[in-house]
Structure 1
């Protein structure tokens, strides 16, 4: 069974995001970029399936600029087998991403697609669900555990009421939650080996997809700064402030 793992190049989670002075978006110049943390979890789970003998080939795909090849190489250094870079210089909306991934799936023919539940730059949480709809495949979102049976996957999902286990017939789409696993670090020998692993380059036109944006970002602003708190002398004062100033009750 082949496993396809889409990964996204985003601003590193430890970097403080700065908005451009003209409000047109987020400043990306001279900013550290890395793999989306949820996608790292997806890569790790795919590698664990391979190590357990449940998967034969782990394929990484990324949609973005030429620099996204570095993100693919990171996944290859973790242990993935090969990569596909779909070169796009501008931002791509979730629907276009899902359509491109549909074309990649049809070419690669995986038995499982694992991807992060969302990217930390836009927090859309849409691509996995859209891809499942386009392919007509079963989906298990927010996975905290994945078990493989002969012809199906058992996916434990985190829901408001606790945990829910669903059975998905192969092939399937799974999106990862934070508690699924702890991603490994790439060793130096594997980093060197990753430089020799194949990465194919494609463009959206190869899959017949138009990536022209359907939405226009009017303005980007920083969130308001948090106001300083106050100390209260007693519970009665606290209740009074909650009632009269905060309007909680």
Structure 2
């Protein structure tokens, strides 16, 4: 896709349910397409192909959208949608997916037209694209995929790219935090390579340990992971997906 047009799944205003800005109002722009296949993906509908329409939601409840627009959408149309959905309590424009960095040229162009702060949610495996957009991103939520996440690609390569991406955003003016999905078979041993690598970049980078839903969490195991990570990083948090509890998009 060009820097002027993009395929989107949906655009809506809601409450951020994950990460260190949980509870904050955002306008969400969900991009189509992803370069990974994770076993726990909750937006698998954005993986392949190009959607004919983009849904625009005027409320926060799932299943209620107010209009559809024909894809691909021009950058000015997306900018107008963001301004239209912005409210007095809104803090960021959340660029989510799918994988937004697949459309880095469009994001950079959108950043030239929209003055609101950009919050990027990324799988962190496209460092070249991260360089392209770093100048327009205010908050970068960077996933680090563990080997047990079920990605089909070479995990060692993905891990190296993730660290490169985190370092790129850390060196820019944006606020960056890392997120690790905690699966039933995740242990202290499997998170520590990521923990120590993040600390080598910057021990001040917050780390979120996010239990994968709908699996039942083991509090003792989570606390053990927090303590192990806390020896290297100054800000370690366990934050589940709260949008399911709130019943919002």
Which protein has the bigger helix share?
A: 2
Q: Which has the larger radius of gyration?
A: 1
